[in-house]
Structure 1
Amino acid sequence: MLAFTRLFMLCLLAAAPYAAVASPVAKSYHESRRSIPAGWTPVRRAEADIVLPLRIGLVQSNLHNIEAYLLDVSHPDSPNYGNHWNAAQVADTFRPSNETVDVVRSWLVADGGIDFQRISLSGNGGWLQVDMTVDEVERLLGTEYYVYENLDSGAEHIACKGGYELPGHVSKHVDFITPTLHFDVSLKSRRSSKARRRASMASSSFSPKVGNPFKDIQSGVSNCSEQLTLDCLRALYDFNYNPVATDRNTVGVVEYDPDHYVATDMDLFFSTYSKSQVGQRPKLVAVDGGVLVDYGDILESNLDTQCMMGLLGPKQEVQLYQVGDGVEFKDLSFNNFLDAIDGSYCTFEGGDDPSFDAIFPDPAPGGYKSKDCGTAKPAYVISTSYGYDEAQLTPAYVQRQCTEYAKLGLMGTTILYSSGDSGVAGNGDACLDPDGTVDYNGVIFNPTFPAGCPYITSVGGTQVDPGASVTDPESAWMVLDVFYSSGGFSNVFAIPDYQKSTVQGYLKNYPPPYSTDICNFTASRAYPDLSANANNYSIGYNGELAPVSGTSAAAPTVGAILTSINDARLAIGKGPIGFINPAIYSPFFRDAFNDITKGSNPGCGTDGFNAVPGWDPVTGLGTPNFKKLLAKWLVLP
């Protein structure tokens, strides 16, 4: 059976399809894209009688106020700082209006000839679903559907050729429709190695390799540029803390099957760096049948769990959100995870977006025969070291997902994503052509996602320079002139209010030597927000201790520090810090970071950006000083 995933290109529209449309109302493109993602090619027109599970994401109410709502509970100057919302308040505030539901449903009946009884509304009121044939959808949306084939895997997907149209009175009530423009793309983890990556035009994937195992193991701070240990990180960020409210505090890391940690590697790490934790394991929170398989990649999960657990110590439990049943893992996405921690995000009665996300119940033999929707409670801090290139996804898709992160922030959750490891380029060093096409010889900067979402905290990378001590200033992270801390400016998201003053100051004092055709820096969300060491982290891997580098290590490091701040606040009767960006960009927090002023993040045939005094699009505000951050957050309500 064909899977349905996303796609685009300019639609070739003919007048004929409109002859059967009852409404004479003018239509225009609701979404369109101009090129096919690398690795895909059209092979034939989709058969007219194939049934598509058409799903229409309805515009939610009050979204224009979401940044104001978030600032109200997150900015240190707000009288409502820390007064986080509950899930019911979030659902009620953003539920699509009755007018929106009525307009879109009436359009399906009048223009699509769809019987009213065929149309279903999701439990949270956010989606309309109706099964329609390709022929029906093409006439309704003024487009053509093709079967596209992946040149590497041979997989086939149905998608719209170029774009789709909606009447003006309907368009303003619709976020986006699937299956239409979007392709499935694999999540890329943000960990690298001391080996050069291989990239191909057919795929943005690469095959990172961990560095050679250490021959001489250190456990202190004598050689932190070569062996980054727990002691090194504590010394770098003044991070020593004994938790006292672990029964009330929560923190989690997210992994996607078949990535998994290895228990013996974890114990090797603990026996070397934190002996009291030998035998300790993260608490498994299974999402959509999440399971620790005995195949697949072990490096990412080993790194994330060892880093987070080692820094927090034996008293604080770490949750492992393991997503996927080990069978249906090729299309796993952030949406699969988000469905589980916020039931209101599920697209249709516990379902999901069939044009992009892995679908559960999984019909494959041995697959998970249910669907997790609102089954897992979000931790106060959630760290993720995976990401996409922003250009791989449509603006409507990333905007809808970004809004969900804002809702989690409203409820008091801190969402951390590593910024990436390719400087100003995307995964696999891919850049863009002027028409938006992914091109490894392109010159246009290729920002990452969700790092460029304004409602998450993006974490870049730093390093101890060779031969330097932990008391010397760090530099922006780079390895072998191949890996660099990703940073830059989104091509989709506008600059948020909390960041305007800081970024405008940067642009005034250190104007980038690029045209806006190369980098969209005039009024865009800038990232990363802060950074932490990402170089030569010593972890247990395949039965030995070896160096691993990447912003994958930086995100859980920051996560451990923020979790300890939450512990201290909870211990005195205060709440979690939630969405931290408005606070850390405020003048009150200006001296709470170690400023990074050396290094850069090249890519796309350029030198990228330089690390400079203050915020920069390489290391953000700098690295955290735990004691200073703790003192400031303890003062806040």
Structure 2
Amino acid sequence: MLGLSVVLSVAFAAQAAFASPLHSRTPYAVKESHPVPRKWTPVSRAPGDHMLHMQIGLKQERFDELERHLYEVSDPDHPRYGQHLSTEDVYELVKPSDEALDLVHEWLLSNGVDRFDYSPAKDWVNIYISVESAERLLNTKYSVFQHEDGSYLVRTPDWSLPLHLHDLIDTIQPTNSFMRATPQKTDWIQFGDHQAPPGYKPPSNETIARVCNIESVTLECFNTLYGSLGYRQQAVGKARIGFNNYLNQTPIRPDIFQFLELYNPPAALSAWTFESVEIANGPAAQYTPLTAEQLAGSDISEEAVLDAETILGMTWPQPVTSFSTGGSPPFNPDLNTPTDTNEPYLTWVNYVLGQKDLPQVISSSYGDDEQTIPKSYAERVCNSFAQLGARGISLLCSSGDGGLGGLDDSACYSNDGQNKSTFLPAFPASCPFVTTVGATMQFEPEVAVYRSPGVGSDGKQHGFYASGSGFSYYFPRPSYQDAVVPAYVKSLNGAYTGLYNPEGRGYPDVSAQGLYFAFFWNGELSTISGTSASCPLMSSIVSLVNDALIASGRPTLGFLNPWLYSKGYRGFTDVTSGNSSSCGTDGFPVTEGWDPVTGFGTPIFPKLVELAKGH
């Protein structure tokens, strides 16, 4: 893993562990159990020599204090607004105690683990260990699990620790997390093979009608709808933006170049020059077209190309960074993959937390059902996102493409052993320390995106698509939502009681266009849809606002949500209609004001700049 600060030799580890008297061994007890998700089935015992990259999350000594700082520097009414923390300040607040480090070192050494390294704040210990050794270390049994789509993971439903370590270690992975970083995109469609949404009416506004075509929505349409058309950046090179790639997704530079030549010619050369950062053996941005081998596989890089085309097209000449994190496919028994590394969010965030110079906005278009991962892991990853926010970085995530969890009630069941009907919130969309972006469609007015499955007028099968929506079961409602979310819940008059958590963090926070994006891929002009499209679009608008702030001598927006819910919401066009039917229901209604389908609506760039400059 890159960006790690220390590698301990046997001698150094022993010295650290024995600096204080050995702690007497305590009995093992189960630390955490997490049910196997419904789509996963155990198929065999895991091979004993299969290697795991194991990440041990030590209790962060002063996270509550870090959270206080985060909200103070992100609250526009607080005197410290915009005074973001340094990298070193964040490390100091989340580092574990010396006692925790000593006791964990002692435990590892007594189990024959004599080489390990740290995350920058030492709140994560990384070891590379065989399944056989991991089973002894955690008093558990690993199995090979197969997903209904044919992919595999090596996991265990529960794991144990000596009792004296239970309060010092929050989580260990890979153990019982079944999360996969699935791209939030749907239906690549060749140009011209489209079906307009039922009841679609072309815009009557001549300016919008001239540039916005439902069959292929372009950069000019986005800039016209959201008021950024003609904006000339004033702090060139200072406002920066990045995006994440997982699952071996990689930007294909020739496709991006052809897209920009068509839709933003001055930006075309940036397709060859934007920065590519590879983490944990992730693939570099590719200078050649897709190969036959790539096209024959499951990884065809549509998501990475979409993000790059949208962000470069919207934000040029801003510097853009592509982060490609390795770790997939996670395991293939036939190929005997040597190392199981598929906790990509954790691998990515620990890397970037070790870097002092980062883009101020980062877009991430991946997610999975919240219930596929244990709460402890979700909390630790989410807390890592809070560290980025405290440093002044805006992290935006897509809300998902399955509405409340899937089209019908056959998909919407709990994973708690009770197998009860429930809506399925997504992660990391449900994390309170990210800004979650939903999707809209049509133009005048925009409405919540929705497409029922079936055969379109083009004769092709189109999948179900509804903007991700819901309330977290893991994360309570953050205080910044108190002024709007309880009122929305009350307006439901008891509808869906028992199917969602009315006290949970609601999402999305905002929305942007997400249907039939003009898209150049594999040498062809086409379109693609999904909240994977709306997230980089909204991220681009935020980065343009940052440009205006930097030019006026003000700090960048940083963690958006406290500002968004107190003042920034006035810079959005409220979306008041649309459909999110899912889980066999009509879905949460789209209403005036905030709702858990479209959030506060879609951006009005000039108004956002005005509000941001006035705090």
Equivalent position to 2:303, from 300, 303, 314? 300
Distance 1:324 1:136 in 2: 24
Partner Cα distance (1:548, 1:437) in 2 = 37
Deviates more, 1:613-622 or 1:100-109: 100-109
Q: Which runs of 5+ in 2 are unaligned?
A: 1-22, 196-205, 332-340, 454-463
Provide Cα deviations, 1:98-152, integer angstroms capped at 9, x if missing partner. 232244455667xxx547x8475636432456788878766765x5304324367
Flag the 1:211–1:431 CA change in 2: closer, same or farther, 3 A. Answer: farther
Task: Work out the CA distance in 1 between the residues paired with 2:65 and 2:409.
Answer: 36
Residue in structure 2 matched with residue 274 of structure 1 by the alignment: 264
Post-superposition Cα deviations, 1:394-453, rounded to whole Å, max 9, x if no partner, equal: 1111111111110001111110111111100169998343444798xx732111111111
Match of 2:171 in 1: 176
For residues 263 and 136 of structure 1, the distance between their equivalents in structure 2, rounded to whole angstroms, comes to 42
Change in Cα spacing, 1:575 to 1:429, as seen in structure 2 (3 Å) is farther
Q: Cα–Cα, structure 1 residues 52 and 557, in superposed 2: closer, same or farther, change >3 Å?
A: closer
SS in 2 for 1:501: coil
Distance 2:583 2:593 in 1: 25
Cα distance between partner residues in 2 of 1:322 and 1:338:
12
Q: 1:508 maps to which residue?
A: 490
- Give the secondary structure class of the aligned counterpart of 2:496: coil
User: Residues of 1 paired with 2:152 and 2:537: CA distance?
Assistant: 40
Between 1:25-34 and 1:572-581, the stretch displaced more is: 25-34
Report the Cα offset of residue 620 of structure 1. 0.6
Q: 2:274 aligns with which of 272, 283, 299?
A: 283
Post-superposition Cα deviations, 1:568-603, rounded to whole Å, max 9, x if no partner, equal 1111222211011000101x3342211111013222
Query: Are residue 497 (structure 1) and residue 479 (structure 2) matched?
Result: yes
Over 3 Å counting, the alpha-carbon distance change for 1:287 and 1:335 in structure 2 is: farther
1:235 CA displacement? 2.2
Give per-residue Cα distances to partners, 1:187-209, cap 9 Å, x unaligned.
2111112xxxxxxxxxxxxxx65
> C-alpha displacement at 1:479, in angstroms?
2.1
Structure 1: 5+ residue stretches without partners: 1-21, 194-207, 344-373, 465-469
**1:480 partnered with 2:481:** no
3-state SS, counterpart of residue 631 of structure 1: helix
Distance 1:135 1:563, change over 3 A: closer
| Gap change, CA 1:100 and 1:429, over 3 Å in 2 | farther
Aligned to 1:40: 41
Selected match of 1:406 from 353, 375, 386: 386
Cα 1:449/1:627, change in 2 over 3 Å: same
Q: 1:430 to 1:246 in 2, by over 3 A?
A: farther
Aligned length: 548
Answer whether contact 2:408 2:583 (CA < 8 A) is retained. no
Q: Secondary structure at the match of 1:228?
A: coil
- Equivalent of residue 500 in structure 2, options 519, 534, 541: 519
Matched residue, 1:31:
32
* 1:433 partner amino acid: Y
Query: Structure 1 residue 93: deviation in Å?
Result: 1.3
Cα pair 1:192 1:210 within 8 Å, conserved: no
Calculate the TM-score normalised by the size of structure 2.
0.80
Instruction: Note if contact 1:145-1:158 (Cα within 8 Å) is conserved in structure 2.
Output: no
Output the CA distance in 1 between the equivalents of 2:278 and 2:350: 9
Aligned to 1:191: 185
3-state SS of paired residue (1:431): coil
Aligned-residue offset at 1:382: 0.7
CA distance in 1, matches of 2:174, 2:342: 14
Q: Tell me which residue corresponds to 1:533.
A: 513
Aligned partners of 1:120 and 1:136: how far apart in 2?
Answer: 14
Q: Who is 1:356 aligned against? A: none
Contact 1:214-1:546 at 8 Å conserved across structures: no
Q: Contact conserved, 2:131 with 2:142, CA < 8 A, in 1?
A: no
How far residue 210 of structure 1 moved from its aligned partner, in angstroms, is 5.4
Q: 1:455 is aligned with what amino acid?
A: F
Task: In structure 1, give the amino acid aligned to 2:449.
Answer: W
Q: Residues 37 and 437 of structure 1 are in contact (CA less than 8 Å); yes or no, is this contact kept in structure 2? A: no
Q: Compared with structure 1, are the counterparts of its residues 28 and 316 closer, same or farther at alpha carbon in structure 2 (3 Å cutoff)?
A: same
Counterparts of 1:92-241 in structure 2, within 5 Å, are: 92-105=92-105, 114=111, 118=114, 122=118, 124-128=121-125, 141=138, 143-150=139-146, 158-160=154-156, 162-166=157-161, 169-183=164-178, 185-193=179-187, 209=189, 212=192, 221-222=209-210, 223-240=212-229, 241=231
- 1:625: Cα distance to partner? 1.1
The superposition leaves residues 239-264 of structure 1 with CA deviations (integer Å, 9 ceiling, x where unpaired) of: 23110101212111222364334444
Q: 1:478 corresponds to which letter in structure 2?
A: Y
Report % sequence identity: 30
Which amino acid is 2:423 matched to? F
Give the conservation status (yes or no) of the 8 Å contact 2:53–2:129.
yes
Give the 5 Å matches for 1:409-424: 409-424=389-404
CA–CA distance in structure 2, aligned partners of residues 68 and 427 of structure 1: 40
SS at match of 1:279: helix
| CA distance in structure 1 between the partners assigned to 2:388 and 2:565 by the alignment | 20
**Structure 2 residue aligned with 1:364:** none
Are residues 102 and 321 of structure 1, via their aligned partners in 2, closer, same or farther at CA, if it must alter by over 3 Å? closer
One of 308, 320, 344 as aligned partner of 2:322? 320
CA-based RMSD of the aligned residues comes to 3.4
User: Would the alpha carbon gap of residues 156 and 499 (structure 1) be closer, same or farther in structure 2, given more than 3 Å must change?
Assistant: closer
Report what 1:203 is aligned to: none
Shift of the 484–53 alpha-carbon distance from structure 1 to 2, 3 Å rule, reads closer
2:81 is matched with: 81
